[in-house]
Structure 1
């Protein structure tokens, strides 16, 4: 018999007060990118001990305490995904993906006000906006389906006395597939069609904007302390198209339109100290609290099945509010300068992505205008899935800056982020969780490690300065059109197994920062 969530999903997928998110959507909220000022990016982000760059406000706030003068800065550029294709094809399937391979981006604007409190101490205040996540991405994938398909997965999940739950895609297919009736004229299943090949295309866009407010200072030029309060603004958009060639010369097509909007806030605290008074060598330590997100998701899915007799179409919508609490982040960094012309930095960060807390809004009340949620509770089912699917992520940042002359700087950097997904992780669309029941797509990608290589230079003209940076990043992964279903044995004809295909996200970024010191 269907559980309560599968009944709701199959009937309407309309807005309800009990809602939560699912693991693969969560990763969009915690996977920060290397972005900020061109100096910070050019050095691979390895400035959490060197400080004196406004981008450290979002990682180690103590870095703002190293400013000796006030400044204002503005950064922007463009991001390009030159290897992406907007006209993918596989076998006999062709598609057209709307989206731009190159997009302009406004990345940072900030102000630092440095106030001297004594001969060797400062109290500094700062505000900075930066784009911590740029969602612009085109993703395409195609592969062979060996007796598997989306509609077969729906049929396999049809509750023959099992507890498998349905989502929005299943709800659409259940209305399009032919029911299987028993001798008593009761439905006992759904007739399905095996697939032969598939094609997927997705265009994502939007951003997470981070607004940071900082107070920091130093004690006798030996110990630097900082605290940052951060506000975040989430704007995520995704349009995807999925199509399958099926047996009997049939075809299935699925479209999804997805929006995530919301706000969050967090706290960041850090310290930088010089253990030897006569040496510029510095050590930085910092901690970032979870970001407490309050979010709204709006999505729609439409499925069309076509054969020689014609086409049938069915659509679903989902609108819900939920909360996600991201994991804590901890960092340690080293910084050193030599002969006043060479700066070296190294940073290590760790965050346990498996500890993401998916939360269900509950205990709300209505007034004359809208619905308010007062409390939320952890979605234990989804959190167990998150813990088994995601793992601890380490980030290593290395950077150097060389000044052949006082007004000119050359920078190089390297940034590495370990994989967040377990090798056997998958998007489980059968969980008894609203995060699964209200899903309007089935695809997922297990992204692997991210490697970033950066370079840049800067030039200072009295109180004005300009910095340029280039960043190349690459993340490879395994794409799956839907979760696999394994019946009683590995050789069962009822198996619905989708093999992964290799995909890659290669991005090029050009960034310029203009600034003025006063």
Structure 2
């Protein structure tokens, strides 16, 4: 297996010690517990595990559908705005991306199980069936890092990876490109040892990472209502993953290069992946009394099968004498399977008559249980790195909603601990949300604003070869929901 392939696979779901910092932004994107659903759900920062009554609970706690006593259709388009600000080598940079997408659409059908002639029905009162199509992750983002580096270079990383290999055995996606473009040369008398053509006076580095894509879930669920006290539900979801990443790195000599040194070089890497997966979710809600509700739910791992990566890389160098050399890798393709960690959660909500409620949810997910496998590679080292470097995340969500008939006001907050051990990096995440709602007869409309924030040390490539940039990322979601009950 080649280095570029491993870089994407490990960075994609989580990542290993060496690649962890290099792919920290990818890890955050894949690892975090996201808030994605209707505008009401997002306005509460997803703290609806024990509240229910929203179609978004299909992807969170499907027992929430058991609250429904009538049918409902909803459409919730979403707008994303992502801004990343970096500080590196005495320079500050920023980049931004936006995206408008359908967000979520769904339908819940509620059916009474009692006779209309029974004035006091008991037992199972309602059964519900639900369907939703939800964009649970959006990968559209840009990162720009620029600054001076003295003693650090991508070429040093290639040099150390090449050492011990003859030129004919170098990696076609990395070290061979550096060899063919004269960024590496062999040591006299040692054909498997290399020297780097890095300028002694330091380099100016410019790094841009651009990502595109999404993760969608199509879910089918059923739920039941027992005596208006116990609500149970289960859902089956198909996950559709489409991801694309391009990396552009340029290093330019800060001083006039000496013989054997490069004036500048550019490295381009593009990696795309597609995959399908399946998971199940099970949950319950219990109404202790008119004031207090409690809930619990579990999510099975998502079993991704036949994940397919396609990738290529390219290096172009200009040496001290003005000569330009270009080398492009072949197109690569690789198939593998991936299991994500299971998830467990519990919640409680307090209702103040019919005026409003306060809800709290806790989510546990152990990322050291992620697993890679294929028919051609053991992934032993990568899976061991996952076990050793990742840790469990703890997410707290708090949300509140208050009725000002026919309007509703909402707010929420969520905090997620880092999925990697603190000695490697700190990728904690904070989220704030606000929302408004309107109800008039069968029609309802909601709007919400959500902002996620995290700050971290970000490495453009291997942490042993480059200083970290300080990266702050703010992702804002604007969502609208339109629906009606029938």
TM-score, normalization by structure 2: 0.86
Between 73-82 and 257-266, report the one with greater CA deviation.
73-82
Give the Cα separation in 1 of the matches to 2:136 and 2:277: 13
Matches within 5 A, 1:343-362: 343-362=357-376
Q: Indicate whether 1:103 and 2:109 are aligned.
A: no
Unaligned runs of 5+ residues in structure 2 are 15-28, 115-120
Q: Indicate whether 1:24 and 2:11 are aligned.
A: yes
* 1:44-103 alpha-carbon deviations (Å, 9 max, x no partner): 100000111111111111111111111000001311135669xx9988999x98xx7322
Give the Cα separation in 2 of the matches to 1:90 and 1:242: 15
Task: State the match for 1:296 in structure 2.
Answer: 308
TM-superposed CA distance for 1:451, in Å, is 0.8
Q: Is the 8 A contact 2:291 2:353 kept in 1?
A: no
Give the Cα separation in 1 of the matches to 2:140 and 2:85: 11
Out of 444, 468, 473, the residue aligned to residue 500 of structure 1 is 468
Out of 338, 363, 368, the residue aligned to residue 352 of structure 2 is 338
TM-superposed CA distance for 1:239, in Å, is 2.1
Task: State the match for 1:489 in structure 2.
Answer: none
Residue 483 of structure 1 aligns to a residue whose secondary structure is coil
Task: State the match for 1:171 in structure 2.
Answer: 176
Give the Cα separation in 2 of the matches to 1:396 and 1:93: 32
Moved over 4 A (4+): 82-85, 88-94, 164-167
* 1:369-428 alpha-carbon deviations (Å, 9 max, x no partner): xxxxxxxx75221011112222111111100000022x2111010111111122443xxx
Give the Cα separation in 1 of the matches to 2:107 and 2:336: 34
Task: State the match for 1:200 in structure 2.
Answer: 207
Residue 290 of structure 1 aligns to a residue whose secondary structure is coil
Task: State the match for 1:135 in structure 2.
Answer: 139
TM-superposed CA distance for 1:181, in Å, is 4.7
* 1:228-275 alpha-carbon deviations (Å, 9 max, x no partner): 001011111222211112461611211122211110000000111123
Q: What is the aligned residue count?
A: 450
Q: Is the 8 A contact 1:413 1:454 kept in 2?
A: yes
Task: State the match for 1:471 in structure 2.
Answer: 450
TM-score, normalization by structure 1: 0.81
Matches within 5 A, 1:350-389: 350-362=364-376, 379-389=379-389
Residue 174 of structure 2 aligns to a residue whose secondary structure is helix
Q: Is the 8 A contact 1:32 1:133 kept in 2?
A: no
TM-superposed CA distance for 1:167, in Å, is 7.5
Task: State the match for 1:371 in structure 2.
Answer: none
Q: Is the 8 A contact 2:341 2:370 kept in 1?
A: yes
TM-superposed CA distance for 1:187, in Å, is 4.4
Q: Is the 8 A contact 1:179 1:187 kept in 2?
A: no
Out of 284, 290, 310, the residue aligned to residue 295 of structure 2 is 284
Give the Cα separation in 2 of the matches to 1:471 and 1:320: 37
Give the Cα separation in 2 of the matches to 1:181 and 1:471: 56
Q: Is the 8 A contact 1:155 1:192 kept in 2?
A: no
Give the Cα separation in 1 of the matches to 2:379 and 2:351: 48
TM-superposed CA distance for 1:282, in Å, is 1.0
TM-superposed CA distance for 1:216, in Å, is 0.5
Unaligned runs of 5+ residues in structure 1 are 363-376, 426-445, 486-496
Give the Cα separation in 2 of the matches to 1:187 and 1:336: 69
Give the Cα separation in 2 of the matches to 1:108 and 1:475: 25
Q: Indicate whether 1:41 and 2:42 are aligned.
A: yes
Give the Cα separation in 2 of the matches to 1:60 and 1:66: 12
Task: State the match for 2:336 in structure 1.
Answer: 322
Task: State the match for 1:420 in structure 2.
Answer: 419
Task: State the match for 2:56 in structure 1.
Answer: 55
